[in-house]
Amino acid sequence: MKTHEIINPPNLFMQNLLVGDEVQKSRRRLGDLMGLFQDHQSFELTSPDELVYEVYSYIPADEKSQGELNFGVTRLYPGKIGKEYFMTKGHFHTCEKSTEYYWGIEGEGLLVLMDQERNIRSEKMFPGSLHYIKAGMAHRVVNTGSTLLSFGACWPSDAGHNYDEIACNGFSARVLEINGLPQLISL
Ligand code: M6P
Ligand code: ZN
């Protein structure tokens, strides 16, 4: 008879947050998001220090490792620039075959997806919503509520973030508040 050791896994995912020394944190403030929003005049009137979102990531393996997974929680604050809601930068994956899961934890919003031909689709996000992001789809999250939007993510370690295409051409639709309601508007 052999007695196997029982391992304590990292205790990082607590109360829907990622906490601990092994967790990487990054913050995006308005000053980091220059050019993202449509209304440049309103953007100029804001403080570059205002926090838009923070990303907590557990990245256990090297980003070139195949078959490994990263895990993250993103906290996207409520707010607007003019009529446009606060949102993540959004990205394609550098490795075009890489997929990803997002899931809603807290708050409400929209996941905006765009394929390489710039066709748009969008899914509502809410606590419990599950989103399978297919290969080749750019993905961005928009907080359409008046409270924090928190969502989880799981993606291949070697996916990579390609922000260039979005920085140059943006998404082909924006989420704007029109008559008090969020609307997805093609440009
Ligand atoms: C999720 C994951 C991360 C991503 C983050 C913020 O947590 O998809 O890989 O970095 O959202 O999104 P973005 O990088 O587009 O700002
Ligand atoms: Zn991704």
Is 110 within 8 Å of 147 (Cβ atoms)? no
pLDDT at 15: 87
Residue 166 CB–ligand 1 contact under 6 Å:
no
- The number of residues making up the chain comes to 187
Contacts of 163 (CB under 8 A, 6+ apart): 89, 91
140: left (phi over 0), alpha (psi -120 to 50) or beta: beta
Q: Which parts of the chain have pLDDT scores under 70?
A: none
Which residue has tokens 């995006």?
28
Closest ligand relative to 92 C-alpha = 2
CA of 185 to the centre of ligand 2 (A): 23
pLDDT at 187: 74
CA of 171 to the centre of ligand 2 (A): 15
CA of 56 to the centre of ligand 1 (A): 9
Residue 89 CB–ligand 1 contact under 6 Å:
yes
pLDDT at 167: 95
108-158 residue pLDDT tens:
999 999 999 999 999 999 999 999 999 999 999 999 999 999 999 999 999
For atom 4 of ligand 1, which residue has the closest CA? 55
